[in-house]
Amino acid sequence: DGGITQSPKYLFRKEGQNVTLSCEQNLNHDAMYWYRQDPGQGLRLIYYSQIVNDFQKGDIAEGYSVSREKKESFPLTVTSAQKNPTAFYLCASSTGLDGGELFFGEGSRLTVL
């Protein structure tokens, strides 16, 4: 089945540790995105990539890093510099064309202890 796979679904981290969230898609989409969801704030864009080996910061990139070495993969690293990392993280992909639908993964819930 074509779709987006995020892993892990739930992750616990101690303060000061980096953690990487995985996002893989088999939809042959050029563009991929990472959003953060907090209660009452909707979804906010962290990073996006419109093509392999290129990515841009979104609205809340501080404390996060990404890579796009393969078309199918867009991992997100939450670094120890991110002050409030506990959140629900959603990965999405699209064709990249203006107005194109975003297809979302099931999300990863990160809790910092």
Partner 1 sequence: AQTVTQSQPEMSVQEAETVTLSCTYDTSESDYYLFWYKQPPSRQMILVIRQEAYKQQNATENRFSVNFQKAAKSFSLKISDSQLGDAAMYFCAYSGYGNKLVFGAGTILRVKS
Asked whether the beta carbons of 26 and 2 are under 8 A apart, the reply is: yes
Q: Is 1 helix (H, G, I), strand (E, B) or coil?
A: coil
- Residue from 32, 94, 110, 112 touching partner 1 (CB under 8 A): that is 94
Q: Say which residue the tokens 């993964």 belong to.
A: 105
What is the DSSP track for 51-64? ETTEEEE-TT-TTE
Residue 42 binds partner 1 (CB under 8 A): yes
Span near partner 1 by CB under 8 A; candidates 16-24, 29-37, 63-71, 74-82:
29-37
- Residue from 8, 69, 101, 111 touching partner 1 (CB under 8 A): that is 101
Residue 61 binds partner 1 (CB under 8 A): no
What pairs with residue 25 in β-bridges? 4
Give me the least distance between CB of 28 and partner 1, in Å please.
16
